Structure 1
């Protein structure tokens, strides 16, 4: 069957099948935002799951700018939200990924790991410390747990940019972005007050800050190579820092980083080139991109198509993961489905039509993540040549060995699908006049499932309300 076929990435990394455990917020970072026992336990479960690849939750490259305070960080990936006080890998992360490692995935992609501890996406993000502060043994253990059953694991590295909340920086120190345009979470007084208190207005990055941030991504990738991971994925979607450089809505610069649509790619290209200069060719480097921002004035599909063409021409990338939306319009969570044409809503994957269009533009392997639930839908996506690999996120929080079911030829296509479940009690939150609250509750519910495995050492519970 198509999803069971092996594939070799451009760097030579061989995957046993086409099923990817996609990045999610694990939210397991502790006070130091480093890998810990929770992370180890979680990924040990995924490691057993027979995936072709594991992709971690995002790891932040600058500890001043987390996405969540529980992100893993490189101090100076789906968020697991299992970082503890140091935002480093821990027992919870190990436990979670050990479960996924057993799940027969062809590849594991971690939740996003922040490259700058000042700018987390969440305070529980894992973060990559500076080379002087790094406890490399925690990251080596993280890599070993994830890959203990033979599944390659790639770390998603990130900088939250203007979407980073207060908490890791001195009081009222703003976050950073290509232009001083704040994130909008609503037009009402409550939303504006929360935006001002929690996120604020970013400052426009200087050349010095751009150079510093590029180096943080480079350092993070080098540390992941030294720890033994198979590669990194540069998070350039969902409104985070790199994504905000790529979008005309958030990049109003008139210099070499924004004067033209191709100039908006310069920041990303400098990061790619910097990473390639310090890691061997066999170390995979991928990028996650938006197919569109799905907001007025944001990145369009035509512009995203051009960006993929320019990446193809630039080279040095082993795969492209296609997603879409920002936290102002979270299409990546499926919240935009009802506004799309009926023929699009009938398809399983959220971004498969865009992938089919750009397939004619690039030969770089494409991953489509979001919406896949059945073996038939995944096989159809690969047979149509719209993508080379399929990413599965949220269902793997309940079924850590989902690939084993999907790849079992003794199970009919009708039965070879992810568990169906309904998250009860979330619709009322959609009535709140704050963008993304309803979808955020869905994210929190899946965090709880991961935490049951990683922290409580219990099985997931789809009836949880």
Structure 2
């Protein structure tokens, strides 16, 4: 018999929406858009598998708001040129077990590879640094009118998300993408109303939230994925992050997922090198629980923490402590799609996701192996196959490079 668990309890949001339990499948990079950036049929199969696996909330992978600005070659885009019926098939399949399915909406800013963006855009013309910098062009600073247009694009995508059957939207404000770039003093050195002070740097995300809310109404959940910090010298700090959270909650935001890091400092994929997990974090499993506890004292809003959860006991302890309301899962729920059901069936459940490696650290970094190996696992699920724990890392690397080179870069009009 399943054992009683706090993870099985429903969670009611301000809008009145009820999430059936405390398991959240966090956004994942599926790369299952077609050449027109509509969802392939495999996305519906993949998300139906997760719906049947028992998670109360599924978050889509990146859905881009601008088809000329992609983070990956086969991102899904939702705009006026999209095949809305293909999206409806996806959302229907993803909600077969009565769970919620939210669209994560995003713009990559400067985190768009050279092969996709000859001239990416960003708050300021500051290039990326770090191990991946050579793969990205120096961005052009956005004009004031372009910023206003992008805000409207986020709102339009959110409105379409509601139209095609998503039950909420999540603004991607983490991991070094455009919203995160605006928030960071390292990446946003503007001296106009969009930069400089912390108040000005958060204006972009606040205006996005307001524009979305105006389009979707008061009863449709609007959430954000927010960095606790970007873990870079001169970057976005925990205190600034909490100020952004407080401002959004005061506007009516429904849910916050906590994460951290960027392409330059990939703390969200902690495990090796600079992103190694502290011993104190290992004991509690989740990477950002200390931040969540501090934010809880300042904001009355449902929280989700993603990253690090590996056992039923760790998940239950995190929610029981009051630090978080939901357990965010990415890599574990890819490998074990029915993980929520297995956790509720046994308090002894544990999983070791490991860190796939080619044995060549530079190749692992350049290919972003920590992402592409899991993409390959999702492609298997999208084909109706099972995940393969001994999948060759080299196969994932080759597949990743083929995927990039097979897609010509979009051009701006």
Q: Within 2, Cα distance between the matches of 1:424 and 1:107?
A: 27
Q: TM-score, normalising length from structure 1? A: 0.80
Q: How does 1:255-274 map to 2 (within 5 A)?
A: 255-274=192-211
- Does 2:34 correspond to 1:17? no
Does the aligned pair in 2 maintain the 1:429–1:437 contact within 8 Å?
A: no
CA contact (8 A) 2:266 2:275 kept: no
Q: Deviations over 1:411-451 (max 9, x none)?
A: 2x2x223x32445544x23245x9x437x212111111111
Q: Which residue of 1 aligns with 2:212?
A: 275
Structure with bigger RCO (C-alpha 8 Å, 6+ apart): 2
* Structure 2 residue 354 is the aligned partner of structure 1 residue 429: no
User: For the residues of structure 1 that align with 2:314 and 2:296, how far apart are their CA atoms?
Assistant: 18
Q: 2:70 aligns with which of 120, 128, 146?
A: 120
Equivalent position to 1:449, from 374, 377, 382: 377
Contact 1:119/1:165 (<8 A) preserved: no
3-state SS in 1 of match to 2:36: strand
Match of 2:259 in 1: 323
SS of residue matched to 2:73:
strand
Q: Residues 139-196 of structure 1: CA distance to partner in whole angstroms, max 9, x if unpaired? A: 1111101012211100100000000124455xx3x1111110011133xxxx66xx2x
Q: What is the SS of the residue equivalent to 1:357?
A: helix
Aligned to 2:282: 345
Q: Any gaps of 5 or more consecutive residues in structure 2? A: 393-413
Matched length:
387
- Match status 1:176 vs 2:121: yes
Alignment map for 1:101-140 (pairs within 5 Å): 101-129=51-79, 131=80, 133-140=81-88
C-alpha RMSD over aligned residues: 1.8
By how many angstroms is 1:311 displaced? 2.0
Q: Which residue of 2 aligns with 1:40?
A: none
Whose helix fraction is larger, Structure 1's or Structure 2's?
A: 2
1:304 aligns with 2:231: no
Query: Conserved in 1, the CA contact under 8 Å of 2:332 and 2:353?
Result: no
Task: Give distance in 1, aligned partners of 2:7 and 2:260.
Answer: 23
Q: Distance in 1 between matches of 2:106 and 2:356?
A: 31
Superposition misfits of 4+ residues, deviation over 6 angstroms? none
Kept in 1: contact 2:224–2:255 (CA 8 A): yes
- CA–CA separation in structure 1 for the residues paired with 2:49 and 2:278: 38
The structure richer in strand per residue is 1
CA–CA separation in structure 2 for the residues paired with 1:31 and 1:155: 20
TM-score normalised by length of structure 2: 0.90
Change (3 A) 1:338 1:26: closer
The question of whether the paired residues in 1 share the 8 Å contact of 2:357 and 2:369 is answered with: no
Shift of 1:250: 0.3
In the TM superposition, residue 104 of structure 1 has moved relative to its aligned partner by 0.8
Q: Provide the secondary structure at the position in 2 that maps to 1:156.
A: strand
Paired position in structure 2 for 1:4:
8
2:82 aligned with 1:149? no
CA contact (8 A) 1:117 1:168 kept: no
CA contact (8 A) 2:126 2:139 kept: yes
In structure 1, distance between residues paired with 2:324 and 2:353: 27
